[in-house]
Amino acid sequence: MRTIDKVYIDGQFVTPHGEELFDLFNPATEERIGQVRLGDEADAKAAVAAAKRALPAWSRTTKAERIAMLRRLHDAVAARSDALAAAMIEEYGAPQAFVGFSAAHAANLFLDMAETLEAFEFTQTVGGAEVTLQPVGVVAAISPWNSNIGSICSKLATALAAGCTFVIKPSEMSAIQTQVLAEALHEAGLPAGVFNIVNGRGDVVGAELTSHPDVAKVTFTGSTAVGRSIMRSAAETMKRVTLELGGKGPNIILPDADLESAISHIVMVGFLNSGQACIAGTRVLAPRSRLPEVLDRLKAAVAALKVGESTDPTVTVGPMVSQKQWDRVQGYIRLGIGEGAEILVGGEGRPAGLDRGWFVQPTVFTGVNNDMRIAREEIFGPVLCVIPYEDEDEAVTIANDSPYGLQAYVESADRAHAHRVAERLDCGRVTINGAPHAPLAPFGGFKQSGIGREYGRYGLEAHLEVRAILG
Ligand code: NAD
């Protein structure tokens, strides 16, 4: 049993004013593995005050000083990558391939932002005017459990590069990962108050941060429903917002695709992080002319996935994070059956041989149309829908007929063809033929997948105010 009973304010690990204890579980065993003491409104206020005090000095640091600090943060986080990976496995059961990527990615985000900063000009000349870009002020960040360390590192790196100071409310379900990360960040030796970390509930610490008059910007990653309430709360004091929200990504198999590689990409991005990923490609759009072959291959590939405890490196699908999430996914599988879709593989209940842990059978629905709730709503589990289409125009129409617009995928043997289709998709990112992540390229959503972009120059600009001086 672990006890996490400190928050990080003004350069120190301190006992929070809040007294509520929150249980932490290992989702593979359903056992309680720890408790975190949650902060409250008073802790959030103290963290904002510390960030406000640190702002004048930090906002005057030079580009070279910020780059040096980002490199130190990278080194400190990289040195803890094994501990971060172990915490992610224990606390939410993420499969090892995902965990390995996430731990390295979290550290590299600081180097990526250092590279962006290197090339960035804070003073520009536009139409005869001098345009200066200055830090927006104190930034409040809020992270989800499925991408806790990545969200913290991305948001922190960007805020610091812009010259802003920072308060994060991590997911209350990710306290072990947050503790490992906080110790690493502390070791980097930033001035007190530049960043602060307050564990707490969304409706307590989160609500305080998103309404506090001294917070200039909120950067949030999480569900669309909470994003909406944050936007309302931020409007009162006209806070700037970056919102990274949910998704229901289409994965379009063009008729000319090589099905062997296409199916392997579909399985990889469809079941990424056990299906608990905003960027998961969960709507598989298949040409009707090749539907039988697509279904045969997909069924075999999904049936071969290994479900189990992520301590086993050969496992590709781990447990759902919580009983609540398990119930939610089961509810959607029942809903799909009720809506008239057919199960190609998987179904309700635990996989055979697993009688404890919040494990779900990787499931694929066929006979789905895009009006069904299983095709429109984010399930956030290992559940895919196959939707047939007649021609390319219909594929694009179905792909764009969604309240979401985060990440889409296109599979084709002809890259130029895939590119032409990608240009017609209403979403923030399109990945062709399983292309790797591009860390300096913008990331974010159209429509109800969010507002604004993270990463690289676009992320940095979202943390700056623009002043034009004429004459
Ligand atoms: P969530 O929205 O329930 O919670 C996210 C965070 O918001 C948590 O820290 C929570 O405590 C906090 N919160 C809750 N209520 C709040 C309030 N009223 N005010 C302020 N903060 C509040 O999401 P989750 O279940 O933790 O994460 C899964 C969701 O996140 C999915 O919808 C997923 O698609 C989305 N997500 C999006 C991205 C992206 O980059 N677009 C990345 C990862 C996850």
| Confidence label for 141 from pLDDT (cuts 50, 70 and 90) | very high
Q: How many whole angstroms separate alpha carbon 153 and alpha carbon 465?
A: 22
**Which is it for the CA torsion 437, 441, 447, 448, positive or negative?**
positive
Q: Of ligand 1's atoms, which has the minimum distance to the CA of residue 227?
A: 2
Is 116:457 a contact under the CB 8 Å cutoff?
yes
Residue nearest to atom 23 of ligand 1 (CA): 222
Dump pLDDT digits (tens) for 170-222: 999 999 999 999 999 999 999 999 999 999 999 999 999 999 999 999 999 99
Give the CATH number of domain 250-438; options: 3.30.1490.20, 3.30.470.10, 3.40.50.150, 3.40.309.10: 3.40.309.10
Q: How many whole angstroms separate alpha carbon 174 and alpha carbon 147?
A: 9
What is the predicted pLDDT for the residue at 1? 87
Mean pLDDT, range 443-451, rounded to an integer? 98
Mean pLDDT, range 389-394, rounded to an integer? 98
Dump pLDDT digits (tens) for 142-156: 999 999 999 999 999
Spatial CB neighbours of 35, under 8 Å, sequence gap ≥ 6 = 1, 2, 3, 4, 21, 22, 23, 24
Q: How many whole angstroms separate alpha carbon 163 and alpha carbon 431?
A: 32
For the domain covering 2-245+449-470, report its CATH number: 3.40.605.10
Catalytic residue positions? Answer: 244, 278
- Is 245 near ligand 1, meaning CB less than 6 Å away? yes
State CA 330 to chain mean position distance. Answer: 23
Q: Of ligand 1's atoms, which has the minimum distance to the CA of residue 222?
A: 30
Domain boundaries defined on the chain: 2-245+449-470, 250-438
Q: Tell me the sheet residues that pair with 106.
A: none
- Is 142 near ligand 1, meaning CB less than 6 Å away? yes
Dump pLDDT digits (tens) for 24-69: 999 999 999 999 999 999 999 999 999 999 999 999 999 999 999 9
- Is 378 near ligand 1, meaning CB less than 6 Å away? yes
- Is 146 near ligand 1, meaning CB less than 6 Å away? yes
Strands annotated E in 276-353:
281-287, 342-345
| Confidence label for 75 from pLDDT (cuts 50, 70 and 90) | very high
Spatial CB neighbours of 337, under 8 Å, sequence gap ≥ 6 = 343, 348
Give percent of the chain above pLDDT 70. Answer: 100
Angle at 183 between CA 105 and CA 55, to 5 degrees: 85
- In this structure, what token pair is assigned to residue 467? 């002043």
DSSP secondary structure string for all residues of 294-355:
HHHHHHHHHHTPPBS-TTSTT-SB---SSHHHHHHHHHHHHHHHHTT-EEEE--SSPPTT--
**Which is it for the CA torsion 259, 261, 267, 269, positive or negative?**
negative
Compute, in degrees rounded to 10, the torsion defined by CA atoms 289, 295, 298, 303. -170
The amino acid at 90:
E
- Is 406 near ligand 1, meaning CB less than 6 Å away? yes
Mean pLDDT, range 112-139, rounded to an integer? 98
Tell whether pTM > 0.85. Answer: yes
| Confidence label for 371 from pLDDT (cuts 50, 70 and 90) | very high
The amino acid at 4:
I
Dump pLDDT digits (tens) for 161-182: 999 999 999 999 999 999 999 9
Residue nearest to atom 30 of ligand 1 (CA): 222
Mean pLDDT, range 90-119, rounded to an integer? 95
Beta-carbon neighbour count of residue 466 at 10 Å? 11
Q: Of ligand 1's atoms, which has the minimum distance to the CA of residue 201?
A: 11
Residue nearest to atom 28 of ligand 1 (CA): 222
Spatial CB neighbours of 162, under 8 Å, sequence gap ≥ 6 = 135, 136, 460, 463, 464
- Is 172 near ligand 1, meaning CB less than 6 Å away? yes
Spatial CB neighbours of 430, under 8 Å, sequence gap ≥ 6 = 407, 408, 409, 410, 422
Mean pLDDT, range 83-106, rounded to an integer? 94
Q: How many whole angstroms separate alpha carbon 224 and alpha carbon 211?
A: 18
- In this structure, what token pair is assigned to residue 104? 């390295």
Average pLDDT of the chain? 97
Q: How far is the CA of 159 from the centre of ligand 1 (A)?
A: 19
Is 421:392 a contact under the CB 8 Å cutoff?
yes
Phi, psi of 270 (to 5 degrees): -75, -35
Nearest to 98 by CA among 272, 255, 258: 272
Nearest to 437 by CA among 314, 269, 313, 290: 269
Q: Of ligand 1's atoms, which has the minimum distance to the CA of residue 233?
A: 19
pLDDT at 344 over 90: yes
Phi, psi of 249 (to 5 degrees): -65, 130
State CA 241 to chain mean position distance. Answer: 16
